[in-house]
Amino acid sequence: MNLKRSNLCLSADVTNARELLSVADKIGPSIVVLKTHYDLIVGWDYHPQTGTGARLGAIARKHGFLIFEDRKFGDIGNTVQLQYTSGTARIIDWAHITNVNMIPGKAAVNSLAEAAEKWKSRLNYEVRTSVTVGTPLGDNFDDNSSEDGRPQPPAKETLPTGYSTDHNGRKSSIVSVNLTQSYEPVDSPRFVNGIPEGDELLFPGIEEPPYHRGLLILAQMSTQGNFMDEKYTKACVEAAREHKDFVMGFIAQETLNSESSDNFVTMTPGCQLPPEGEDENAAVEGDGKGQQYNTPSKLVGLGGSDIIIVGRGILQADDPQTEARRYQKRAWQAYLERTGQS
């Protein structure tokens, strides 16, 4: 934030991959976080090295921002682990930050923290695959037979193929395929998954992308009539304190740091500025769909938010890049005033 003099997050609520990458590149200089919804995107390329996530990562390094996949995980622990680390998207590979809905309880936070730790421990390892094909000796093959002489599945990865009998009951040819996979350390401690070969565009002051993963807990919402009451928010704070090495903060309408040891980041949606030239402290109308808006000065200066999340206010402007700079300037000034740095 200090490096870029920005506390702006762009909510990139677009619906195709080309537009997402274009918006990220154009607005990137003004933001510190790009919020995505990968499941909104038509044409999302899931290739781990050359796909949409990897290309977003290159743009993030170029402009010095983090990628936040607004997944709002909300299921049992095992399910959220799989959603985070597996499937087609493999969110953990390209999103520095994600978030969780605490309705299912603390187990979801525990499970995501565990998944992130396992993922991190494997960063400096590569999967080595060995495949051997051959015809097994008769004695070895017989070891896989049961007492009644019927062939049994070989142990572990050994897969015999081509076994059959002809009409005289004689065995035809047998081929054994052995597949072995193991993790082996790579020579360099560098985050090899983070910087593709030839990607030399790095934001000045940031030598390498962060390989840590962070979690935001959805503690409060800006929509009218939501059910996240005080009891729910309190449980969110408790869960965050139990995982300070993974939970970086909250999606909330105000700071939730109440103890001296709390140092959580608050990111707040529902931010909008009045048109240029109008009173920036005036009330801002909602969108008619439940979303309620506040200005940067109210959210950051009075509410204690650290990062404002803006979507349509920038994307629907006549000049999104200029409007992004206006939000960046107003939000950063409010942050400096609140923290006594102005």
Q: How many residues does the chain have?
A: 342
Torsion angle (degrees, nearest 10) of CA 50, 54, 56, 57: -140
Local structure of residue 274 (DSSP, 8 states): P
Whole-number Å distance between alpha carbons of 325 and 304: 21
Between the alpha carbon of residue 275 and those of residues 5, 164, 184, 300, 325, the distances in Å are 23, 78, 57, 19, 14
Catalytic-labelled residue, pool 25, 26, 62, 72? 72
Q: Is 35 annotated as a binding residue?
A: yes
Q: Is 166 annotated as a binding residue?
A: no
Instruction: Compute CA 49 distance to the chain's CA centroid, rounded to the nearest angstrom.
Output: 16
Annotation says 25 is catalytic: no
Q: HSE-up of 142 (CA within 13 Å, CB side)?
A: 6
Catalytic-labelled residue, pool 25, 26, 62, 75? 75
Whole-number Å distance between alpha carbons of 324 and 310: 9
36-40 contacts, C-beta under 8 A, 24 or more apart = 36/12, 36/67, 36/68, 36/69, 36/70, 36/95, 37/12, 37/13, 37/69, 37/70, 38/69, 38/89, 38/91, 39/89, 40/13, 40/14, 40/15
Q: HSE-up of 230 (CA within 13 Å, CB side)?
A: 0
Q: Is 222 annotated as a binding residue?
A: yes
Identify the three-state secondary structure at position 212. Answer: coil
Extended beta strands in the chain, E state: 8-11, 33-36, 66-73, 97-101, 125-134, 158-161, 175-185, 214-218, 247-251, 265-268, 307-310
Q: Is 51 annotated as a binding residue?
A: no
**What are the structure tokens assigned to 5, written together?**
């003099």
Q: Is 164 annotated as a binding residue?
A: no
Annotation says 72 is catalytic: yes
Q: Is 152 annotated as a binding residue?
A: no
Strand partners, 267: 251, 307
Annotation says 318 is catalytic: no
Catalytic-labelled residue, pool 4, 70, 298, 306? 70
* Residue 219 burial (10 A CB sphere; 0-12, 13-18, 19+): buried
- Residues annotated within a binding site for substrate: 13, 35, 222, 291, 311-312
Annotated binding site: 13, 35, 222, 291, 311-312
Report the catalytic residues. 70, 72, 75
